[in-house]
Amino acid sequence: MATKHNRDQSLVIAERELVLGVEPFVRTDDGSELLNVNGVAVGAPVVLWNGTGVSDTGTDWTHSGIGTEQAAANHSGTNGLDTGVAALNDETVFDNGSMIDVATLYDQVDIWVNPQAFPAGSRLQVRWQDDLGANLGNQLRIDQYAPNMDTGVWQKISIPIVDFGLTGNAQKLRIRYGNTAGQHYFFDDIELISAAAGGPYRFRIEAPDVNTVYHLSMAVLMITAPDTGWTSTAFADIVGGLSQGIIMRHRRKSTGDVLWKFVTKNNQQLFGQYHPQESFVFADNKLLVGFMVKPGKAHVAITDDDVLEFVVRDDLSTIPEIRAYCHFGMEVIV
């Protein structure tokens, strides 16, 4: 058992301390935040499906397969989609009625999901199809873009369109309940976010509840870009992207206060503020470089309110890959 002091200096006891873990930063931006430097809100979302009724807006894509429109399944507005209990590999398909260039027009697809049953081994999968139902690009797991899949809890899943690796225009969005029977979900407010809007994009790590504290041991930023060689005046030498660099900041959600931050806009700042790791050049001449930040004596404590964020203020559509991870010791407060 270990002890610590709460913010009000009251003594609390930790049930266990510094259980090591790694979590990915999850994209959380909703377009409501404006930044002081080159910051613009993302464009108005295009409704893919959000139910019909007096409180719902937009023209929903038609849906087929399992699922019925129910008021009890709504996240907002009048109705949501209740899948019912799915059999193995059941599907729900949303159909636009005509082909669209999803990869060019949109940056991400947002899906609000409320798991009602998520049995062990469940694979909640999504992919795009053409007008004939032929698959386009990659099938992704929705649950891998969620911080958790707790039952009875609404959460927004944001999936970058680039992750699908689309090979042509699309007409249908297919959700598949794979690997395990007995899955059950509510879906609502499925939207496409315009690629023309640019940033800022916010990637966040936070502790899952009020009784958990992450003590940051290392934050890692991974960037994949063409191998163009490194100069002092560019940021990671990415051609055509990230000219505004990246902000890393420690922020309090409840007040909006930024506890600390640093902005990296060129390679001198990048190497001065991050520790470069081993780089790899892949067969397609893409360079993967990792950068890490290790806190000093003034450690970084991440809670459900004090969060760590990477903020990107440029259009990410030209970047092959950017990911961030948090290494931490977990403390559970009782």
| Residue entry with tokens 């190497």 | 271
Rounded to whole angstroms, how far apart are CA atoms 73 and 70?
Answer: 5
pLDDT for residue 270:
78
| Residue entry with tokens 């991974």 | 222
Q: What is the pLDDT of residues 257-316, one digit of tens each?
A: 778 878 777 777 777 888 877 677 777 777 777 788 887 644 788 999 999 988 886 767
Q: CA–CA distance from 210 to each of 37, 78, 219, 304, 331 (Å)?
A: 32, 32, 22, 6, 11
Question: Rounded to the nearest 5 degrees, what angle is found at the Cα of 266, between the Cα atoms of 264 and 269?
Answer: 55
Q: What is the pLDDT of residues 125-170, one digit of tens each?
A: 999 999 999 999 999 999 887 767 889 999 888 887 878 989 999 9
DSSP tag of 82:
E
Q: Which tokens hold the place of 102?
A: 């999803």
DSSP tag of 107:
E
Q: Which residue has the higher pLDDT, 179 or 324?
A: 179
Rounded to whole angstroms, how far apart are CA atoms 263 and 38?
Answer: 13
- For range 90-96, the mean pLDDT: 96
Q: 166 near 101, Cβ under 8 Å? A: no
Q: Which tokens hold the place of 134?
A: 């032929």
pLDDT for residue 72:
95
Q: CA–CA distance from 144 to each of 24, 100, 157, 176 (Å)?
A: 10, 26, 9, 14
Amino acid at 329: G
Rounded to whole angstroms, how far apart are CA atoms 252 and 307?
Answer: 6
Question: Rounded to the nearest 5 degrees, what angle is found at the Cα of 200, between the Cα atoms of 195 and 204?
Answer: 115
| Residue entry with tokens 């599907």 | 91
Q: What percent of the chain has pLDDT over 90?
A: 33
Pairing of strands 170-178, 90-100: antiparallel
Residues in a beta bridge with 314: none
Rounded to whole angstroms, how far apart are CA atoms 88 and 173?
Answer: 19
DSSP tag of 318:
G
Q: 187 near 70, Cβ under 8 Å? A: no
Q: Which tokens hold the place of 119?
A: 């049995």
HSE (CB half, 13 Å, CA atoms) of 148? 10
Residues in a beta bridge with 281: 287
Q: 179 near 302, Cβ under 8 Å? A: no
Cis status of the peptide bond prior to 200, with omega within 30 of 0: yes
Amino acid at 236: A
pLDDT for residue 296:
60
Rounded to whole angstroms, how far apart are CA atoms 28 and 204?
Answer: 6
Q: What is the pLDDT of residues 13-72, one digit of tens each?
A: 555 556 788 888 888 876 555 433 333 334 557 889 998 887 787 778 999 999 999 999
Q: Which tokens hold the place of 8?
A: 């009000």
Rounded to whole angstroms, how far apart are CA atoms 328 and 334?
Answer: 19
Domains of the chain (ranges; CATH) run 2-40+198-333 (2.60.120), 46-197 (2.60.120.260)
